[in-house]
Amino acid sequence: MARRKSRILAFQALYAWDSGSTDEQTLLDFSWASASQLERMGEDGKAFARLIISGTLEHLPQIDKMISRHLVNWEIGRLNKVDLAVLRMSVYSLMFQKDIPASIVIDEAVDISREFGADEAYRFVNGVLGAVKPAIEKEAQNR
């Protein structure tokens, strides 16, 4: 549950960043988040959220390329910002947080998408991540 709160915080930060309303440093200091949200999370939770945010932004071109390769009849620029934020942080986790099982990353993404996205967005997110996962695994084997 603690990591879910961290992922939600990271999702909110990436959504705000993509909307152009917040710079990276403001995202990472969480001055935009409510005090009660941060209090419930603790320092470990904030550190995990920071890792997702900074890692996603650092590797954004690579992440967006991976997402784009697995969109069917869509362009990344046309995606709903909620869906895009969920996909970006999840693809970051699949690519770079190898200690977290892919099934957990995808389940969390679907749950966050159900909570914050449009009615059927979770199916779209699940489908894209389901296609991205084996591609990432294949790339890892080829290294």
Q: Please tell me the pTM assigned to this model.
A: 0.92
Tell me the residue range of the domain where 74 lies.
2-141
Using 50 as the pLDDT threshold, list the residues of the chain that sit under it: none
| CATH code of the domain containing 123 | 1.10.940.10
- Please state the domain count of the chain: 1
CB 14 within 8 A of CB 85: yes
Question: What is the reported pLDDT for 142?
Answer: 79
d(C-alpha 136, C-alpha 143), whole Å: 11
pLDDT digits (tens, 9 = 90+) for 32-48: 777 887 888 888 988 99
For residue 27, count other CB atoms closer than 10 A to its CB: 23
pLDDT at residue 130, rounded to an integer: 96
